[in-house]
Structure 1
């Protein structure tokens, strides 16, 4: 449970939500291969977040990322969360993303009404979204 946000943290086999020191910043570690179920769980989480906030910032930190199952991108909740993110996300950062994904994020940041950046350095990505991780016992 993340007390600052009043809701349980998302934990799946390949996605682990990291608590932050700001109620409007959501951070996730992406590890291994993202399954269809993992992607759907994250989409449901973010759709819930979008229902409760006017604007949020997001940080995705890639760690030993092995890609995503092809069908993971075609679930309705996943598509809905991506569409909603255009108007609900203020800052979107990826850290240590595969080169192709990082370049895609940078391009979308120029086309969409949000700030999107890719970082090699995790600390710089945290600075960009204006938050820090909260370490729990």
Structure 2
């Protein structure tokens, strides 16, 4: 078995709606994390023309700004503009709310920032809920 130096910073959260996608991001966001996130979203666009997205940021430690200007990232941003109805950002640094307010008029999607303690309100806003993770015992019991 090969040991992984560092776990991925992006984790998908299952939701109660097929067209609602949720992600948890922890720590420093790398170029690989951005590519992973856009790759997951590209898969969603293949299934649904329009989706709602919630991204929950925990323990934010920075962002690889070079990732923002990579060709693949630019393509991902362009596709997002065509496919996302509502985009909720939860948590993150204090300046996140200001950035969302500044860029909101330039997007066709509805976009909002919520503080980490407002995560439930963010879920309500996109009209979805996280599914409880299934434990190995629940899988064995057929739950």
Query: What is the TM-score when the length of structure 1 is the normalising length?
Result: 0.85
Counterpart for residue 29 of structure 2: 34
Secondary structure at 1:34 match in 2: coil
Residue 119 (structure 2) pairs with residue 122 (structure 1): yes
Residue 12 (structure 2) pairs with residue 17 (structure 1): yes
Residue 104 (structure 2) pairs with residue 109 (structure 1): yes
Aligned pair count reads 126
C-alpha deviation, 1:65, in angstroms: 1.0
Greater share of residues in strand: 1
Deviations 1:7-30 (A, max 9, x none): xxxxx6211110000001111111
Structure 1's unaligned 5+ residue stretches are 1-11
Alignment of 1:54-73 (within 5 A): 54-73=49-68
Residue 93 (structure 2) pairs with residue 132 (structure 1): no
Secondary structure at 1:54 match in 2: coil
Deviations 1:28-62 (A, max 9, x none): 11100011111111111112212221100110111
Query: What is the TM-score when the length of structure 2 is the normalising length?
Result: 0.81
Deviations 1:83-132 (A, max 9, x none): 11112100000111222222222332222211111111100110011000
The structure having more radius of gyration, on CA atoms, is: 2
CA RMSD, Structure 1 to Structure 2 (Å): 1.4
Is the contact made by 2:11 and 2:24 (CA closer than 8 Å) also made in structure 1?
yes
